[in-house]
Structure 1
Amino acid sequence: MKFNWGHGIFTFYVIFVATLVVVVIKSRTFDNSLVYENYYARDINYQQEYDRRLNSNSLADPLRIVSSDEGYALQFPPSLEEKVEGTVLLYRPSTKSDDRRVALEVNPEGTMSLPLRGMNPGRYEAIVEWQSGGVKYYDELDLNIR
């Protein structure tokens, strides 16, 4: 049997359809979720977040992550006279299942140890939403867990 142009067209369409089927199957297994669960609500309230960032930037001593005996700790500005309240989100951009949110528990020295036990190594962002003396603050700090 001789291979002619009709066989070529048939072969092309079979390969084309097979490729489309593979692409559709692969696309159904891809996780296309948003970065944040409540992305749109967060976008609407961005002005409040921006004001909190301005408050954080106006501090003489910013919030920092320092090394401690247990791993890492948040070091709050020593100039704060009021109690610090808020939350810390240890956000991992690559895997939503590794995210962890904890309430702030600041000791009298103005530090809080970050609870890293059981966390997978990698890059995280420590998103700290906190307030002291009625003023609200917002900080994003990079954290690499080994």
Structure 2
Amino acid sequence: MKRIKIHWGTAIVLAFMGFIAFILSFVIRMNTQKKYDHELVTEAYYAKELSFQRDMDREKFTVDTGMEPRIEATRGGIFIYFPEGIDPAKVSGKIGLYRPSDRTMDFEVPVQMTTSPVVLIPSEALLPGRWNVEVDWQYGDDTYLSHRKLVY
């Protein structure tokens, strides 16, 4: 039986070709398979970044004035309890629910209350998993902003 000898230069070239083939297959797999999808969390990421300090000031104002809504996740859905003593009919705004893993599931709900300072987002609208809740609302001349991360 005759042995095949491989020159050391040939071995290095084969090793480099194997490494390049591995990297190329990895890159192609990451770009074509849905489970490795990598999206920005929001569409207007850079525009939202510019208003970041203003949003931070509004969140601090909300906490300092005691107007932060309480957000609870239950089997029936997500309940958002606005502060006691406010007139629910004078509240306006929106509640944004953002899914970090899939932006196609993001949605917004207008704040509409008549007698009770509570908003319910029913469980039928939610899939189990991580949600970022943003409550952006106005009462009188003041605007308030609250964020909460929760697992439903």
Calculate the TM-score normalised by the size of structure 1.
0.84
> Are residues 1:109 and 2:116 paired?
yes
> Are residues 1:39 and 2:45 paired?
yes
Q: 1:119 aligns with which of 126, 137, 146?
A: 126
Find the counterpart in structure 2 of residue 16 from structure 1. Answer: 19
CA gap of 1:69–1:98, structure 2 versus 1, over 3 A, is closer
Kindly provide the amino acid, as one letter, of the partner of residue 64 in structure 1: R
Q: Which runs of 5+ in 1 are unaligned?
A: none
Bigger helix fraction:
2
- Distance (whole Å) between structure 2 residues aligned to residue 55 and residue 5 of structure 1: 70
> Are residues 1:139 and 2:146 paired?
yes
Find the counterpart in structure 1 of residue 103 from structure 2. Answer: 96
Per-residue CA distance 1:5-58 (angstroms, 9 max, x = gap): 243123213202212321331342353332221111112122321232122112
> Which ranges of 4 or more aligned residues in structure 1 deviate by more than 4 Å?
none
Q: CA deviation at 1:119?
A: 2.2
> Are residues 1:73 and 2:76 paired?
no
CA gap of 1:22–1:126, structure 2 versus 1, over 3 A, is same
For the 8 Å contact 2:75–2:123, the answer to whether it is kept is no
SS of the residue corresponding to residue 117 of structure 1 reads helix
- Distance (whole Å) between structure 2 residues aligned to residue 28 and residue 14 of structure 1: 21
CA gap of 1:80–1:118, structure 2 versus 1, over 3 A, is closer
For the 8 Å contact 1:64–1:141, the answer to whether it is kept is no
CA gap of 1:65–1:23, structure 2 versus 1, over 3 A, is same
- Distance (whole Å) between structure 1 residues aligned to residue 11 and residue 69 of structure 2: 67
Kindly provide the amino acid, as one letter, of the partner of residue 12 in structure 2: I
Kindly provide the amino acid, as one letter, of the partner of residue 20 in structure 2: V
Kindly provide the amino acid, as one letter, of the partner of residue 44 in structure 1: L
CA gap of 1:102–1:3, structure 2 versus 1, over 3 A, is same
Residue-pair matches, total: 145
- Distance (whole Å) between structure 1 residues aligned to residue 50 and residue 39 of structure 2: 19
Q: Which runs of 5+ in 2 are unaligned?
A: none
Calculate the TM-score normalised by the size of structure 2.
0.81
